[in-house]
Structure 1
Amino acid sequence: MAKDTRPDSPWAGAKPRTERPSRRERERERERQAEAGKRPPPSPARDDRRGARSDAPARGGGHRPAAADAAPSVPREAPSSREQRLYGLNACLAAFARRPEALRKVYLSEARIGALKTVLAWCVQRRIGYRVVEADDLDRLTASRHHEGVCFDLLRPEPIALSALLDAQPPAPTASLLLWLDGVGNPHNLGALLRSAAHFGVGGVIVPARAGLDVSGAAARVAEGAAEVVPLAHADDAQQALRDLHARGYALAATVPRDGAPLYATTLPRRLVLVLGAEGEGMSEPMIAAADLRLTIPGSGAIESLNVAASVAVLLGEYWRQSPPG
């Protein structure tokens, strides 16, 4: 028997039972319910690139975390002031190995899913967002084309005080080597000298607090993981720092381009702080005056000097030769 479809009938305008609402109608109904405070369970989120369910296994192992569902469709341009952005595969893996609890966001290319399998599993377990993005996105996120397909946002590590750095060094008269950077600020030089410092077992790097020197993403990438190995300590008062170093048995050696003692003809103190200045300007006169000795790297004379990163590698290699570990 046919339904009564008169205008005054309660059946007027009704759809047949067998007709299901369209997708658009269902979406509108969900919106109406949400506005009325009757929000239904959300539909499974989808990856904005592939249309795959976000709770489906990610290629390379693990699952996409629920936290990733809330990630913006366009990656944000900069981390918060409490975070630092690192990029480069070795730099990111080293940071994760040393301080995984600091991880806040991961961006990676599809090609890096396998290499970052452990990191992605950590993200899943702790509901940390990660996104698989294109190379152009990573270019914008890192302001570099040398990101190697991965970018991490992490909480910044707490600055290390000089006293804490010195407490971590072996006591006198055991051999110990530190670096003091007086005006060095180029991130690529900083990264390169940190890499050399890690290779030759330097106990730490000291910088004046007023310099505001920090390990940037570019420096960390060049350091290839060394930024997580070699601690960077801030000296609030340079004069007091020099007194503290002398009290711990350290001698200070200022590295100068000329008129210093030839490196290879000089017996280096076993407890030594090598002081290095910025390229061009060099180190400050007060630091040169405070040094116990001055060192010059001999060369052909064709150029005035090596850059600071190359100088560090040469100086550390000679120290290692004279005072091998053990």
Structure 2
Amino acid sequence: MAGSIACGVHAVRVLLSRTPERVLRVHLASGREIGRLAEIRTLADRAGIAVVGADPASLDRLAEGAHHQGVVAEVAPRSGDPETQLEQALETAAGPPLLLVLDGVQDPHNLGACLRSADAAGVAAVIVPRDRAVGLTPVVRKVAAGAAETVPLVSVVNLARTLRELKERGIWLVGTDDSASATLYDADFSGPVALVMGSEGEGLRRLTRETCDQLVAIPMAGAVESLNVSVATGVGLFEAVRQRSVQSARKKK
């Protein structure tokens, strides 16, 4: 099968609405083209995309274990190599770019949740290492609820090199580390910045940590020592959103 897989009503609807040229084929549950699935059929027909009826077993197999809600789409990859994708994301960012770097996140549910938070926070691109990290699986796309189709996920061979290149472009790298003396609220997210998050359990790798311009910890007021990576990512990104909103409001006065 060509391309990758997206499943679930919301993810497929976003694809058909925003980038129908990337949808190769849509598989719909046979005999269930009512309600939201009928809307999927209409969007696919309008874009001239082939729709194939499928039984539950076929959809389960295509979705690779993800909850598909009766619809699975075959999707072409984004055009261009990772460097080109990142360049385009930086060039088209509205205002100072906000990036998210995930250093080795393994759980597809965590990556999907991070993508969803990234979309909500206006992140220009999410950068991940190609090896030792989960990719854009059907489960990731389903959990992301359409955000995997709106936020570029850039998979790079050498994360440390990519981080150095970002620094050369004037992007400030803020990494999270539970042992850091500075807190998240000490960081300045108002300019071009990348929030760098570590993997589940291990945190940032040594070289990634050393490449960051600043290390910060998220203040914890309870008994637990740390947050789930997707929750911590949301906290960090929306501190950036808060700072940028305050700065924008001040400029308007």
Contact (CA 8 Å) 2:41, 2:51: kept in 1 or not? no
Taking structure 1 as the reference length, the TM-score comes to: 0.66
* 1:139 alignment partner, SS class: helix
Instruction: Map residues 49-198 of structure 1 onto 2, 5 A cutoff.
Output: 80=1, 82-109=2-29, 110=32, 111=34, 112-122=36-46, 125=48, 128-134=50-56, 136-144=57-65, 146-158=67-79, 160-169=81-90, 174-198=95-119
Partner of residue 53, structure 1: none
Instruction: Map residues 1-326 of structure 1 onto 2, 5 A cutoff.
Output: 80=1, 82-109=2-29, 110=32, 111=34, 112-122=36-46, 125=48, 128-134=50-56, 136-144=57-65, 146-158=67-79, 160-169=81-90, 174-211=95-132, 213-268=134-189, 270-324=191-245
Deviation at 1:306, TM superposition (A): 0.7
Deviation at 1:253, TM superposition (A): 1.1
Deviation at 1:144, TM superposition (A): 3.2
Q: CA RMSD in A?
A: 2.6
Q: Which runs of 5+ in 1 are unaligned?
A: 1-79
Deviation at 1:163, TM superposition (A): 4.8
Taking structure 2 as the reference length, the TM-score comes to: 0.84
Higher relative contact order (CA 8 A, sep 6+): 2
* 2:118 alignment partner, SS class: helix
* 1:178 alignment partner, SS class: strand
* 1:300 alignment partner, SS class: coil
Task: Tell me, in whole angstroms, the C-alpha distance in 2 between the residues paired with 1:120 and 1:98.
Answer: 12
Contact (CA 8 Å) 2:128, 2:155: kept in 1 or not? yes
* 1:205 alignment partner, SS class: strand
> Once structures 1 and 2 are overlaid, which stretch shifts more, 268-277 or 231-240?
231-240
Deviation at 1:261, TM superposition (A): 1.3
Q: Which runs of 5+ in 2 are unaligned?
A: 249-253
Q: What residue identity is the alignment partner of 1:258?
A: S
Deviations, residues 225-259 of structure 1 (Å, cap 9, x unaligned): 11111112233333432332112111111111233
Q: Which has the higher helix share?
A: 2
* Bigger CA radius of gyration: 1
Contact (CA 8 Å) 1:120, 1:130: kept in 2 or not? no
Deviations, residues 53-84 of structure 1 (Å, cap 9, x unaligned): xxxxxxxxxxxxxxxxxxxxxxxxxxx2x321
- Inter-CA distance 171–142: structure 2 relative to 1 (3 Å threshold): closer
